[in-house]
Amino acid sequence: MSDEMTELKMRLEEAFAAATKLYQARGFQRRIGFGRKPALVNVDLANAWTRPGNPFSCDDIDEQIIPGVQQLLEACRANGHLVVHVTTCYQNTDRNDPHTDMGLWHHKIPVEAVDQADTELWAIDSRIAPIEGEHVLIKKRASAFHGTYLAGYLRSAGIDTILVTGVTATACVRATICDGLADGFRPIAVKECIGDRIPGAVDWNLFDIDAKFADVVPVDQCVDYLNTVKRWND
């Protein structure tokens, strides 16, 4: 770790300590807890985000996020838990066409880079590729819930808890968690399995998410939950 990153982390830890005192004094940082029936929701762990050389490429993918998600998938598959892989792409990437399915987002970020015609870009990373029975959902906006059928799909399966992984902490993961809570699900942010492109962005957003919208839980604890939740419910 560089000296700059070490200093940044130290400053963030100081800020988190001060903010924790304020939050707890005002009743924030409560626990939502695990529910009775979980689903794993992997957000934008597709090649445009997980492989180098793309505008959306993120950090810590190979070293941390993919190995963590592999652990979660193994536990889900062994225990029959629902898995949803979420990706993003667009049919019409012409920025001059007012009918584009990019909406207005292309005025802020280069979403035109993820053209639906280039299936390799928006395909889920092969290291965590869906197996038979696992759902792949295409979204057009930041949240996996906004404008999609995800909430209805989860409710029809009796899901009450969503374990959320993916990228980015500042945008699609955060928006998915916030909307998941708003739609009545218990959001669990899997700590080691969420990434971003900007130093410090993950730490800050996970701290803030944990204070307001979800429980941030280590991957090992999430794996243990996935392996034992059926026993708890018997």
- Positions annotated as catalytic residues are 172
Specify which residues 187 forms β-bridges with: 162
Q: Of 138, 27, 39, 152, whose CA–CA distance to 89 is shortest?
A: 138
Give the DSSP per-residue string, 52-113: TTSTT--SSIIIIIHHHHHHHHHHHHHHT-EEEEEEE-BS---TT-TT-TTTTGGGTS-GGG
Give the DSSP per-residue string, 114-150: SBTT-HHHHSBPGGG---TT-EEEEESSSSSSTTSSH
Q: Could you say which DSSP state residue 46 is in?
A: B
> Would you state the torsion angle of the CA atoms of residues 57, 62, 68, 71, taken in this order, to the nearest 10 degrees?
120
Q: Of 208, 157, 214, whose CA–CA distance to 190 is shortest?
A: 214
Using an 8 Å Cβ cutoff, are 216 and 209 in contact? Answer: yes
Using an 8 Å Cβ cutoff, are 154 and 185 in contact? Answer: yes
Q: Are strands 38-43 and 215-217 parallel, antiparallel or unpaired?
A: unpaired
As a whole number of angstroms, the distance between CA 218 and CA 228 comes to: 16
